[in-house]
A = this chain, B = another copy of it.
Amino acid sequence: MCVGPVLTPSPLHANPAAQPDLQATRVAKHYGAFRAVDDLSFSVARGSFFSILGPSGCGKTTLLRMIAGFLSPDSGEILIGGKPMNGVPPNKRPVNMVFQHLALFPMMSVGDNVGYGLARRGVAKDEIKRRVGDMLERVSLPGAQNKRVDQLSGGQKQRVAIARSLVLEPTLLLLDEPLGALDLKLREHMKIELKQLQAAFGTTFVYITHDQSEALVLSDHVAVMNHGRFEQVGTPQQLYYEPQTPFVAGFVGANNRLAGRATEVNGTTVTVTSAQGLMMPARAIGQITRGDAVEAFVRPEVARLARQAALLTDAGLPSFNARVDSLLFDGANSAVLLTEVQSNTEFRIALPQTGEFADLAVGETVFFGFDPQRAVCFAAGTTANEHVFS
């Protein structure tokens, strides 16, 4: 269950009776005059996978390090498993962390790495051996105890780092962009593996990333962070389909953005007119009145291509005439870059996965349109809270 400061709490699949594993209340951290983490409140339900998604420098690591205890908040309170953590040093907190570059101990074997925390707790040698063996089996690395860390592949290292934390049965596992260092293919693979691991262990994960695809695929809930604040907290679907701020709309998933003025407001449908004269209808998010400066977004896969305008207008969609600039063939992810003819505005539009329009050629003129209800429009500069850009 996640509670954002100005967002309504929305109890979803977590058991509402259970206490949240992590609760932060008005947590803030300043570096000089710079607010790295700005008065954040949220909670993470037991057993859920919670991601914090945001661009570089937005304060994700700072927040995570406060939870782990490496930093102490300037104000506010952090509760883990219901207990306040003020003044509790990192080695006494029921949290473990998987570091961005994993921080496996290179001078120790895999087994010693995984057993490190247990040894520090004074667990008996035999017991450590048993539990390390079990844990390695659970992360699909049975018998890897005696390997050296540098003998492992990237994905195996990943699993060792997670095993090393999970063997301590923490209330909370923190992960700071753990896939950041892996290459493309491996990252795709580890994404799925991580999701399955979390499901299998049932441990609460708090996961940091700047890769929206990771956050969407992995999480039960995602908080989109910007400038030290949460712009929106919700399920991946909510963020993708119902962005609450222009930042979220632009950051989560690919999007075409059009800035302009609201020249017509009709219920929740707004017509946006750009400086170049492009007019585009969209669904209003929040209060918008005629004449407001606005930003509208339409996703590449929401737009439809057609060789005849009639095909679009017949379906009740607006229709734009555009020239093909560039074909970006990429199998199922193919797209075209178009320039709307009258306003010279560039659009990226996904090609249908059916292979239709595979014969499109650069320079050709086509039409495109979209369902205005699936395009969104915000008053310019909308953020989660007015005083964010202080």
Judge whether A326 and B195 touch: CB under 8 Å: yes
Judge whether A299 and B332 touch: CB under 8 Å: yes
CA distance A252 to B330 in the complex (A): 9
Which A residues, 131 to 188, have Cβ-Cβ distances below 8 Å to chain B?
A: 184
30 contacts between A and B (CB under 8 A): A184-B211, A192-B326, A192-B328, A192-B337, A213-B331, A213-B333, A216-B329, A216-B330, A216-B331, A217-B328, A217-B329, A217-B330, A236-B329, A237-B329, A237-B358, A240-B329, A240-B331, A241-B355, A252-B331, A253-B331, A253-B332, A254-B332, A299-B331, A299-B332, A300-B332, A301-B331, A301-B353, A333-B333, A350-B353, A352-B353
**A contact patch SS:** mixed
- Write out the residue numbers on chain B whose beta carbons fall within 8 Å of the beta carbon of A300: 332
Judge whether B355 and A332 touch: CB under 8 Å: no
**Any chain B CB within 8 A of the CB of A196?**
yes
- 18 more contacts with CB within 8 A, not counting A213-B331, A217-B328, are A184-B211, A192-B326, A192-B328, A213-B333, A216-B330, A216-B331, A217-B329, A217-B330, A236-B329, A240-B331, A253-B332, A254-B331, A299-B331, A301-B331, A332-B333, A332-B350, A333-B333, A352-B353
- Write out the residue numbers on chain B whose beta carbons fall within 8 Å of the beta carbon of A299: 331-332
**How many whole Å from A161's CB to the nearest CB in chain B?**
21
- Write out the residue numbers on chain B whose beta carbons fall within 8 Å of the beta carbon of A333: 213, 332-333
- Write out the residue numbers on chain B whose beta carbons fall within 8 Å of the beta carbon of A328: 192, 217
Which A residues, 227 to 263, have Cβ-Cβ distances below 8 Å to chain B?
A: 236-237, 240-241, 252-254
Judge whether B332 and A301 touch: CB under 8 Å: yes
Per-position contact with B for A209-224: 1 when CB-CB < 8 Å, else 0? 0010100110000000
- Write out the residue numbers on chain B whose beta carbons fall within 8 Å of the beta carbon of A331: 213, 216, 240, 252-254, 299, 301
Smallest Cβ-Cβ distance to A355: which chain B residue = B241
CA distance A290 to B50 in the complex (A): 51
**How many whole Å from A253's CB to the nearest CB in chain B?**
4
Which A residues, 311 to 334, have Cβ-Cβ distances below 8 Å to chain B?
A: 326, 328-333
- Write out the residue numbers on chain B whose beta carbons fall within 8 Å of the beta carbon of A253: 331-332
CA distance A355 to B326 in the complex (A): 26
For A192, A253, A329, the residue with the greatest tally of chain B CB atoms inside 10 Å of its CB is A329
Smallest Cβ-Cβ distance to A240: which chain B residue = B331
- Write out the residue numbers on chain B whose beta carbons fall within 8 Å of the beta carbon of A337: 192
Smallest Cβ-Cβ distance to A359: which chain B residue = B237
- Write out the residue numbers on chain B whose beta carbons fall within 8 Å of the beta carbon of A355: 241
**How many whole Å from A53's CB to the nearest CB in chain B?**
13
- Write out the residue numbers on chain B whose beta carbons fall within 8 Å of the beta carbon of A326: 192, 195-196
For A236, A300, A330, the residue with the greatest tally of chain B CB atoms inside 10 Å of its CB is A330
Smallest Cβ-Cβ distance to A235: which chain B residue = B329
- Write out the residue numbers on chain B whose beta carbons fall within 8 Å of the beta carbon of A301: 331-332, 353
- Write out the residue numbers on chain B whose beta carbons fall within 8 Å of the beta carbon of A216: 329-331
- Write out the residue numbers on chain B whose beta carbons fall within 8 Å of the beta carbon of A332: 253-254, 299-301, 333, 350
CA distance A254 to B330 in the complex (A): 11
Judge whether A213 and B330 touch: CB under 8 Å: yes
CA distance A251 to B254 in the complex (A): 25
CA distance A254 to B333 in the complex (A): 11
Smallest Cβ-Cβ distance to A239: which chain B residue = B331
Smallest Cβ-Cβ distance to A241: which chain B residue = B355
CA distance A292 to B284 in the complex (A): 59
